[in-house]
């Protein structure tokens, strides 16, 4: 399949590609979670949910592999570097009790993927302690044993966990595409800059495209 993308068309084989949904968790998109503790207006992120859901449904209907990630730490914080927990002056720190349970801790209500994009049986769910989806996770082996070569990214936030994951994927030899209207940042200028820098220099990191391009390719 081939879809219109920046800086040039993106080619992929459905059976060798995965839809990777980064950190669409209550902790980032709902009040009272990690994102808000850092001082962000989390309502900005909610705008992408309908477009992301439409892509997820279309991808599932074609039998494509879906990977969901969550930024999550163990309850004992053994995988949370003190440098991450102690940095800055958030209203609550990782592991503290918040209105949706302990902030950024696996298994807590706030750490769950939002209902609209919740994983279903057969989909891969990766808990990751860092911003990148490959660091200290089994993602690489999951993709390798399925022969995956292309990754189509959605999720939050564009310049933090999404961009980090795309760069990790790029260095591991994957072709990565970011769906422009299915990713969001707390900082609109950072989103715009990230989209530009991904596809600059002849797709130095990867491709970007509106979700309509992917939907058209899947339907075509
Ligand atoms: N703070 C921020 O923009 N993002 C994160 O901390 N994690 C993710 O992007 N998932």
Our answer on whether the CB atom of 161 is closer than 6 Å to any ligand 1 atom is yes
What is the model's pLDDT at position 220?
Answer: 85
pLDDT the model gives residue 180: 99
Regions of the chain short of the pLDDT cut 70: none
Task: Give the global pTM.
Answer: 0.98
The pLDDT assigned to 130 comes to 98
**Short-list 70, 170, 179, CA closest to 130:** 70
Q: What is the pLDDT of residues 142-173, one digit of tens each?
A: 999 999 999 999 999 999 999 999 999 999 99
Q: What percent of the chain has pLDDT over 90?
A: 100
β-bridge partners, 126: 69
Query: Measured in angstroms, how far is the CA atom of residue 160 from the centroid of ligand 1?
Result: 5
End-to-end Cα separation, the chain, in angstroms? 9
């Amino acid at each position: 399949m081939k879809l219109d993308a920046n800086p040039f068309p993106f080619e992929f084989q459905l059976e060798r590609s995965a839809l990777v949904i980064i950190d669409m968790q209550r902790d980032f998109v709902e009040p009272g979670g990690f994102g808000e503790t850092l001082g962000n207006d989390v309502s900005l992120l909610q705008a992408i949910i309908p477009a992301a859901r439409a892509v997820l449904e279309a991808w599932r209907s074609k039998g494509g592999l879906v990977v969901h990630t969550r930024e999550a730490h163990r309850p004992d914080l053994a995988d949370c570097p003190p440098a991450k927990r102690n940095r800055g002056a958030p209203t609550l720190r990782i592991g503290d009790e918040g209105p949706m349970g302990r902030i950024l801790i696996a298994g807590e209500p706030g750490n769950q993927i939002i209902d609209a994009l919740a994983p279903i049986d057969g989909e891969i769910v990766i808990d990751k302690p860092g911003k990148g989806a490959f660091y200290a996770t089994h993602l690489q082996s999951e993709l390798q044993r399925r022969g995956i070569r292309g990754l189509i990214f959605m999720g939050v936030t564009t310049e933090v966990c999404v961009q980090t994951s795309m760069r990790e994927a790029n260095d591991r030899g994957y072709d990565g595409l970011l769906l422009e209207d299915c990713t969001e940042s707390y900082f609109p200028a950072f989103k715009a800059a990230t989209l530009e820098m991904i596809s600059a220099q002849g797709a130095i990191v990867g491709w970007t495209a509106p979700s309509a391009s992917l939907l058209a390719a899947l339907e075509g």
